[in-house]
Structure formats: C-alpha cells, structure tokens
Amino acid sequence: MYGWSGQLLRVNLGNKRISEEKIPVKVLRQFMGGKGLGTYYLYREVPRRVDPLGPENRFYLAAGPTQGTRIPLAGRCTAVSKSPLTGLYIDSGAGGYLGPELKRAGYDLLVLEGQAEKPVWLKISPGETALRKANHFWGNTSHETELALRKEDAKVGVLSIGPAGEKLVRFACLTHNYFRTFGRGGLGAVLGAKKLKAITIRGHASSIPTPDSTQEQALNRLLVKRARAAKEKGHNLYFHGTSWLVWHANNTGMFPTRNFQTTHFEQHLKLSPDRIEAIFAQTRRRQPCERCPISCSWIITKPLPWAPKKVTGAVAVPEYETLGLLGGNLGVADAEVVIQANHLCNILGLDTISTGNVIGLLMELASRGELPEPYNKEGIRFGDGSGVLQLVRNIALREGLGDALAEGAMRFAQNIGPSATRRAMHVKGLEFPAWDPRGKLGLGLSYATAAAGASHLRGWPVTGEPPQKSARSVLPSLVEQQDLKILKDSLVVCHFSHSISPSLNIKDIATIYSVVTGEQATEESVRRIAARTWLLARLFNVREYDEAPRHYDQLPNRFMEEPVPSGPTKGLTAFISRQDFEGCLTELYHLRGCDIDGYPTTASIKSLGLEKLYQEFGS
C-alpha cells in the first residue's frame, strides 16, 4: 500500500498504555487522511456531550498521503478534536515539519485519550515511544520547552503547549517550530487538561516511497514550475509573506478595525510589509516548511530587547491574521507592538485571532461606557499598545481581568449582558478572522455554515464582488471551494497552493492523490471524499445542538444590520437583506445534502456511504 502507513498510534494518558492499530483500508479510501481521517475517528470515538476538557475527549493529529513524500507544498499537518471554546467540532492546521515526521515514524494518525495524573510529554522515535515525566517543564513557555527538548535531539519535531494551555485558556493553541501553531478552537487547552506538555516526533525513513518514482518526479517538477511562474509574475506572497494582505484587505474593505466596527484602518500602512521591512531591513530570514517552493514565513534574526535569544527561539514576522486582529482590530498602528504581541502569544500559547477579538470586544465596550465596574479598572482603550501587551500576559496566565477574557468572546459577553453579546464577533463561539464579510459577496455563508465556526479556511466564493446583490450566484463556487479546502487539509497540502500559477484545483488534488497512492482517483471521487467529510463534521455538531442546525448557522448582527460607516465598502452589510441570507442558506443546505433546517438528509447520508456509521454513532 502506498500513500498511507495504514497504522495509527494510540496513547492513553490515564493508564499509560501505548498501542498500534491498523486503519481499515476502506476508511483510508473514504476519508483520504488528515482532516478526513481525524473527522472519522472523532465522530466514531467521542460520544455526545462529553466535556472537551475531560478524559473522554480525544485529540487526533493526522498526516495525509503526501506527507513524507517528495511532493512539494506538503509540510502541513491537521489536528482534530472537540473544542473547549465552542463545545463543537474543531480542526486546525499548522505548517512546518511535524506531519512529515509523523508519517516517517510510520503513522497516519496519532490518537491521544484519557488524562494523566501528573504532567508528561510523549516521545515518538525509532528507538523509543514512551511517556516521560514533564514536571520540570510545567510552567515553561512553549519556546523554553522546545529548546530543552531539542537539546536531546536537534532534529526532532516538537509540539508543545505554553502556560495558556496549562491554565486551560479556551483558545490556547499548540506551538510547533517556535511560531507555527494549531491556532483555532483551544486545542492547547485539550492537551493542557490531559496534562500533556509536549510531543516529540522523529521518523525513521528519509522519505516515503510512491508507486512510480518517475511520475512523482514529474509531478514535483510541474508544481515547482507553477510556483516559479507565480513568482515571476510578481505574486506578493513570494516576496512579503502574508503581510501583503494588509494592503489588499484594506483596499477591498475587509480589514477588521476597532472590533469590526469598520473595514478600513486609516493607519494600515504602519502595519504593511513596507513598514516591517523598513524596521528590520536585512535582519529577516525565510523559514520555509518542508519542501516548500513558496517559503512565505519569515523570522527576525536581530536580537530584540524583549526577546533574549537564549530563551526565546525564533521571533516571527506576524502573519496577516495577526496584523489584522492584534493591529487594526485594536486600533494599534505600531508594527513593533504587534510583533511583540505576536511573540508573546507564540511563547505563551495563545491563538492571536481569538486574542485580538476578545481584547477588541473589551475595548469597544470600554469606549462605549458599557463595561461593568469590575472589568473597567484597567481603562483599556483602542490604540493602547502597552495595555494590549499586558492583557496578552494576563489572559495566558488567567490573572485579573485576563481570567474572564480567557473564556473567549462569547462567554465573556454573556457574563456581561445583551449589549456585550451584540458586539461579540463569533460564529458558534469561534471568533472571527481578519476578513470582514461585508467586503465579499457570499463570504458570510462560509463563516455561518462551517462546522468549526468563523474560520477563513473553510471556503471562499470565487468572486471579487462586494455584497451589493444576492449571493445566490456564488453558491456553486462556495461549495467547490469548501470541498477544495477539505481536500487540501486531507491530502494534506498547503492552502497557499492557490498562489501557484495556475492555482491548485480539485483536478490537481485527484492527480496528486493518484500519484502518491497508486489509486486511480477522479475529480468526482475526491469530491465525494470532501462531501463525506463535510457532512460528518456537521453530524458531529448535530449531536451537540439543542436546536436545529439553522439556529447556529448565523452571523453576528453587526454584519447583518450595521452598514460599514466608511471606506471602500461604505454602506454595505454582509447580505443585501436578511431575507436574502436566509434564502441563500436554504439553497446552500440543498446543495450540501441537508434539509431546510440544516440537518443532513437520510438520502445524502446513504449516498455518501455514511449510513452504518450514522446508525451506530448518530445519537
């Protein structure tokens, strides 16, 4: 069998049992790997209504058929669990080297279950797979932990939690390679609750063979050639990383500003790549994922007074999402403050997207005089960079006001009252990324219907139009892009493969899948894998809902009822009317095999081969 090892590693942290299991070939073919494989096991193994921070929740780290091969753009890895932030399905991805190392270690999937009594870390290597005591690491930052573990083996892949994960902050993340994170949904808190401080993975193979090395080499050359073509055309990602999107988002009226009150930040140039590059000049260095011809990530090499080199590992140039949420969304126009805030989030283990949202909510409530006295003593306001840095620390350590903010925007707002709830920017409890849906036709439907909640990596309609007409025209492209995102996270290849020329599409997915597995895939067959995964993630959430799914597939009132006050999208809401949104939602349900209330239909469950699984685990 090619493309898969056909094995998973199961680690029970409660009884310390470590075992290997065969993954049925049928399951691999039905779900591909990565997100698909993790979703299958989550649905099968995690019962309804379990506490995400309890021993019954499980954590899945999944590679795909491309990991460990010579195929480029395949350095990523996918994690799946039940979210402490939303109480629902969550998947998150990270770049670097972890996925390939997991595959080279001989596993398609790592399953963590149970809870340890005392802190431990997990070592996976050719000579030893074992749980070790981690009392001496508990309380350390993620960087201190990774530096210590790399002293034992410099080439090992490390995944760790920071103090935020230990303190069960509901949007704590997992950190790999110092600045690559599984950011969304609180996966760091899942490991913190299990008292698992870190995982190290060292594979035993140099590369994973494919059935035809000549085909693999030809595909490799083609993808590299397409990446080179995009670079020669001047694609900004190759020269600036994702920070160039500050220009794009601001110019198209999608840049989050002061808790999404508007979509155009008047000082956005102070957060632009030009500004960052002017500050750090020749002290930036590329830090690519494994076998990546794009190399979009950058680190800063010069010593910084707040980041002593001996204990911090790499200091990263922030990604666009961070520049948006910790910059414009907080009214902070100082790139150096955002870089420091980003670094604090990396070492403490916080999702920068959720962190920027919950602080933005606090700032808006303070500016409106709507904060109750216990929360108002810090006097935080938009633009307060030093206040942001202090709040990041307080959230991670659950100190003072940070303890309430560590619950996430939805819960923090609910504790204050209706006025705060209206200003909390989330879907299903997951805070919004740095793309305001009032700037792109139909984007709000992607946010509203994603099983994870508000995420920018669940499918974008293929259009450059703002929402000035009904979104019905873009629904077919939204479905296609939802499927493409699922397939990228299951194969696993990078989402930035849209930045090669021509962009990676579903036909390419089928080709890559065929080359690395030897299975003859078609566009239709891989689309069915995507549809199966999309539906199963929804079925997982249906078990958790108190009401019909349609009740949860909604956008914040701000995006529906508050027109943008200024900038390129002045006067626009996410949809031309609530009636249009509801009509589009009904149509999208139909396209995705759901009834008018958002429940997957019996016919779609059966047609995708999920009937037996649903009958056994659907309630």
Query: pLDDT value at position 307?
Result: 83
**Cross-strand bridge partners of residue 527:** none
Res. 280 pLDDT band, cuts 50 70 90: confident
Measure Cα distances from 109 to 21, 106, 361 in Å: 10, 9, 37
Q: Are 33 and 173 within one domain?
A: yes
Q: Are 556 and 426 within one domain?
A: no
Is this prediction's pTM over 0.75? yes
In a domain, 224, yes or no: no
In a domain, 2, yes or no: no
403 φ, ψ to 5°? Answer: -65, -40
Domain with 446, as residue range(s), is 437-617
Query: pLDDT value at position 313?
Result: 77
In a domain, 243, yes or no: yes
Q: Are 42 and 191 within one domain?
A: yes
Model confidence over 125-173: pLDDT tens digits? Answer: 988 999 999 999 999 999 999 999 999 888 899 999 999 999 999 999 9
Q: Which helix (H) or strand (E) is 285 found in, with range?
A: strand 284-286
Res. 378 pLDDT band, cuts 50 70 90: low
Model confidence over 50-83: pLDDT tens digits? Answer: 999 999 999 999 999 999 999 999 999 999 999 9
Model confidence over 392-427: pLDDT tens digits? Answer: 999 999 999 999 999 999 999 999 999 999 999 999
**C-alpha span between 577 and 83 (Å, rounded):** 32
Tokens of 575: 């949809």
> Taking the alpha carbons of 45, 532, 8, 290 in that order, is the dihedral positive or negative?
negative
**Average model confidence (pLDDT) across the chain:** 96
Q: Are 194 and 248 within one domain?
A: no
Q: Which of 410, 431, 452 is the last residue of a domain?
A: 431
Q: Are 504 and 418 within one domain?
A: no
In a domain, 398, yes or no: yes
The DSSP 8-state label assigned to residue 464 in this structure reads -
Q: Are 303 and 183 within one domain?
A: no
In a domain, 1, yes or no: no
In a domain, 206, yes or no: no
176 φ, ψ to 5°? Answer: -130, 135
Residue range 512-531: mean pLDDT, rounded:
97
Q: Are 32 and 159 within one domain?
A: yes
Q: Are 462 and 596 within one domain?
A: yes
Number of domains in the chain: 3
In a domain, 219, yes or no: no
* CATH code for the domain in which residue 115 is found: 3.60.9.10
Sorted by sequence, the CB contacts under 8 Å of residue 507 that are 6+ apart come out as: 523
Query: pLDDT value at position 193?
Result: 98
Q: Are 28 and 66 within one domain?
A: yes
Q: Are 514 and 453 within one domain?
A: yes
Residue range 514-523: mean pLDDT, rounded:
97
Query: pLDDT value at position 310?
Result: 65
Q: Which of 385, 401, 431 is the last residue of a domain?
A: 431
Model confidence over 339-364: pLDDT tens digits? Answer: 999 999 999 999 999 999 999 999 99
In a domain, 216, yes or no: no
pLDDT at 376 over 90: no
Percent of the chain with pLDDT over 70: 99
**Cross-strand bridge partners of residue 90:** 81
Closest alpha carbon to 496 in 322, 244, 255, 276: 244
Measure Cα distances from 455 to 93, 185, 369, 443 in Å: 12, 10, 30, 11
* CATH code for the domain in which residue 343 is found: 1.10.569.10
Q: Are 136 and 281 within one domain?
A: no
* CATH code for the domain in which residue 445 is found: 1.10.599.10
Residue range 295-323: mean pLDDT, rounded:
86
Residue 96 C-alpha from the chain's centroid: 14
Query: pLDDT value at position 305?
Result: 86
**C-alpha span between 317 and 159 (Å, rounded):** 20
**Cross-strand bridge partners of residue 131:** 122
Q: Which of 431, 457, 492 is the last residue of a domain?
A: 431
pLDDT at 445 over 70: yes
Measure Cα distances from 47 to 207, 276, 432, 448 in Å: 37, 47, 28, 24
> Taking the alpha carbons of 429, 433, 436, 442 in that order, is the dihedral positive or negative?
negative
Q: Are 373 and 456 within one domain?
A: no
pLDDT at 619 over 90: no
Could you write out the DSSP letters of every residue in 373-437?
A: HHHHTT---TT-HHHHHHHHHHHHHT-THHHHHTT-HHHHHHHH-HHHHHT--EETTEEP-S--G
